Structure 1
Amino acid sequence: MKKVGMFVWNHFTNDARVNRECTALAEAGYDVDLIAINDPKNPAIEAFEKVSERFRVHRVKRYPWLLQAYSDFGKPFVIVVGGLAMTVAVGLFFVNFMILSSYLMMLLATAGAIKQRKVRKIVVNSAIIARMIVKGYLCKSDIYHANDLNTLPQGIVCAKLRLKPKPLVYDSHEVQSDRTGYDKKKIKVIERFLLRFVDEMMVENHTRAKHNEEIYGFYPQTLYNYSELYDINERPKVNLHHQLGLPEGEKILLYQGGLQQGRGLEKLIEAMPHINEGVLVFIGAGKLTATLKSLAQKSPERDRIFFLEKVPFKELPSITREAYLGFQVLQNVCFNHYSASSNKLFEYIMAHVPVVSCDFPEIAKVVNEHEVGIAIDAHDYRNIAHAVNELLTNQERYGKAKANTKKAKYIYNWQNEKKKLLALYEGIELKTGFIGKVKHQLKPKNMIE
């Protein structure tokens, strides 16, 4: 039985894509250890979780041991550390004044550095990376799998810094070199260097694969982020209307996912005064939560805008099915957004919910070719309102879109797509079995000069 060591830079509570990949590998006979990050603020998740007989989750602690001890014990820990520091200071006073001065300066410098947010972030992230590496080594995997750039160094260390190097898969869910809030030039340099150690790379779709070829010189594997195939009528029912205090016939206009910048969420609120019917419901959380709630309160349609906390991905379909239509209105703020074919589009389709979407290539291709909704230029709130009103009033078009989702889901589903993941792993096994080690097949000689 081949063992897979996989890394993910989150708590693994809402990562449907990684769950699908791990489950598919486990069902195919691989022994999977997923290394994630623990959440000290959430007592509901555990450091170790056995998802199935062949799929386990290990969550490493977030903070360095001193910060972790402070988090665990609070003021008593501060008193003990302060007492020890003072005892050492008193002892040094009688030994050498210069040493005492240096010691006090070191304490002040450490305290000052910890107050700096960037320094704290570096310290915390370094502790997480170190613990992931240790756990990765202890798992003694045959193949390592890094999800996104922030776990690739861990994968490289565990896979390559050993007497017998192991194969390494780089599974890039985002366009790391062109994302909001990222230094494009720096990320390109880092990613280009780290790719030297990668044996197989996967990206979400062909638009991103072509982009990767343009900047790095090779075309990676594609693995679309499709939803699991299921019968939505067999999922448990959730009376969302009752939960929100709405009449049963009220139409729910749903956005589900992270509340982040560049997703057109402000445009949805801006469009509400021009939408003839229905209520806007956000399900999720993120950095934009407070801003969106503030905008909603200022809107003349504030009574038609609702917010719900994010729910575990396994429970989400029961809520999605309650929607009249779903939104996927990304803004063209970076190539990562422009090239997306994100999971929520396929979650809507799987729940038989027509969509109002942006007209970016990967998303519009699905929406237009299969007529499961309306693709628009989502940068203008008036276009959003017009599309929603069309689906509200044109019942023939809406009915056709809803019927088409029931056909499209048999094309865009994980049961079809996971075959590509398993084929990639089978290819790795063939290479390791007959060649003795995995060669860097994915990079042509002129890839990195």
Structure 2
Amino acid sequence: MSLTNKTVLVTVINDFRNDARVQREVRSLLSQKAKVVLLGFNSKNSKEIFDWNGAKVILLKKSDWSWKKGKFIEFVLRGIWEGLKFPSEFYHANDLDSLPIGVFLSSVSGGKLIYDSHEIYTETEGLSQKPKEQKIWKWVEKKLIPFVDETITVCASIGKELEKMYKLPKVWIVRNVSEKFKIETKSESPFHFEKTILYQGILRKGRGLEILVRILEFLPENYGVAVLGEGDEVLKKELLDLAQEKGFEKRLKFYGKVPLDELLSYTSHADLGTVLAEDICLNYYYILPNKLFQYLMAGVPVLVSDFPELSNIVDTYKVGVKTNPKNLQETAEKIVLLMEDYETRKQLKANCLEASKELNWEVEEKTFLKVYERLAN
């Protein structure tokens, strides 16, 4: 397969600088000598055009609309207007909210369209609580899917759901695995606890943050929760208030967002990485996030919710412990057992590093590039 000098227009409705998956895929396309144009949405109130590792990046100005649907419509229209300037052989639409742009542009130019579904968009935590809006998005996805040439998603369970929902012959699985990193461990831990339980990623309800704060009640006083990431500021305040109410304010620390190229040097200092998603929507039940693979790459054992995709990784590679996060006492006991048993921790850390030799982007990108190979041929 040759993507040499072929143009790929990538669309995403966020500031890609915080999106590890989009960055990985763009690098892979560039490695095949493709001309990549990335069209995204700026987190700032201005339009930006710049080069990123050889890709032309256009981040559209943040919308002034207060009406959420108006913001989306404006982004789609502006995205189409910008995209028309770059007729492409391939269009790569990240998630359902950028798919309308890809459908329009590929229909006009005759280019091939790839739909990269990072989740079951219609089964997110937000939409699952808004049935009318959810119904509209399901209708949109159903109408747009027939224009797609190939569909990619992040795990087998979501792939099967999409195949069933839209009668697709095949959904390609490209997991959110981490690149191989040479981790420059800091001489001193950035964390302030003797035993650090890490939450890494966006702050959002249902991702297990409240559980981690409440679980401190059942853990020794030298155990603390470190949070790497930003997100819902209301949730952050609620967590700080809860910690203060429980007397745990010194055992919960927020460290903000860390640049992706520095992240694992922080992660590697944690004693335990957590993915304690709650079963509040189908997306969370099938969750298989970036951070799980980042923990493994950093050699950090994991504590995960006993959900299908998470359990499969833990059972297959023996890299941590599964739990029912609703049972705080039992989960706390599992944490202590893992933290205090030196031999078990040593073996789990070794298993994490061994697993990362297989669960990394250098291996996973072969599937990603096969999608383009199939379309190119």
Q: What are the superposed Cα offsets for residues 378-416 of structure 1, whole Å, 9 maximum, x if unpaired?
A: 222223212210112211111110111111001111100
Q: What are the superposed Cα offsets for residues 41-66 of structure 1, whole Å, 9 maximum, x if unpaired?
A: 6x9xx71221123x221101122xxx
**CA positional deviation for 1:310:** 1.2
Match for residue 49 of structure 1? Answer: 50
Specify which of 216, 229, 240 is matched with residue 284 of structure 1. Answer: 229
**CA positional deviation for 1:236:** 5.6
Partner of 2:338, secondary structure, is helix
Equivalences for residues 144-293 of structure 1 within 5 A: 144-160=91-107, 162=108, 164-182=109-127, 183=131, 184-218=134-168, 219-232=170-183, 235=184, 237=186, 239-241=188-190, 246=192, 250-276=194-220, 277-287=222-232, 288-293=235-240
Q: Percent identity?
A: 33
Please, what TM-score do these two structures have when normalized by structure 1? 0.78
C-alpha contact (below 8 Å) 2:185/2:266 kept by paired residues: no
Task: For structure 2, list consecutive stretches of 5 or more residues without a partner in the other structure.
Answer: none
Which amino acid in the other structure matches residue 301 of structure 2? P
Counting matched residue pairs gives 364
Name the CA distance, whole Å, in 1 between partners of 2:70 and 2:309: 38
Specify which of 404, 425, 428 is matched with residue 372 of structure 2. Answer: 425
Q: What are the superposed Cα offsets for residues 51-102 of structure 1, whole Å, 9 maximum, x if unpaired?
A: 123x221101122xxx4xxxxxxxxxxxxxxxxxxxxxxxxxxxxxxxxxxx
Name the CA distance, whole Å, in 1 between partners of 2:269 and 2:85: 45
Match for residue 7 of structure 1? Answer: 11
Match for residue 143 of structure 1? Answer: 90
**CA positional deviation for 1:258:** 0.8
C-alpha contact (below 8 Å) 2:274/2:302 kept by paired residues: yes
Please, what TM-score do these two structures have when normalized by structure 2? 0.92
Name the CA distance, whole Å, in 1 between partners of 2:267 and 2:163: 36
Q: What are the superposed Cα offsets for residues 306-355 of structure 1, whole Å, 9 maximum, x if unpaired?
A: 11111222221111111111111111111111111111100000000011
Name the CA distance, whole Å, in 2 between partners of 1:225 and 1:175: 15
Partner of 1:268, secondary structure, is helix
Q: Superposition RMSD on alpha carbons, in Å?
A: 1.7
After TM superposition, what 4+ stretches of structure 1 lie above 6 angstroms from structure 2? none
C-alpha contact (below 8 Å) 2:185/2:268 kept by paired residues: no
Match for residue 40 of structure 1? Answer: 44
Task: For structure 1, list consecutive stretches of 5 or more residues without a partner in the other structure.
Answer: 68-113, 431-449
C-alpha contact (below 8 Å) 1:203/1:222 kept by paired residues: yes
Match for residue 363 of structure 2? Answer: 416
**Is 1:16 the counterpart of 2:14 in the alignment?**
no
Name the CA distance, whole Å, in 2 between partners of 1:132 and 1:409: 37
Partner of 1:375, secondary structure, is strand
Equivalences for residues 292-441 of structure 1 within 5 A: 292-430=239-377
**CA positional deviation for 1:302:** 1.8
Which amino acid in the other structure matches residue 158 of structure 2? R
C-alpha contact (below 8 Å) 1:357/1:364 kept by paired residues: yes
Name the CA distance, whole Å, in 2 between partners of 1:210 and 1:396: 39
**Is 1:124 the counterpart of 2:71 in the alignment?**
yes
Which amino acid in the other structure matches residue 363 of structure 1? L
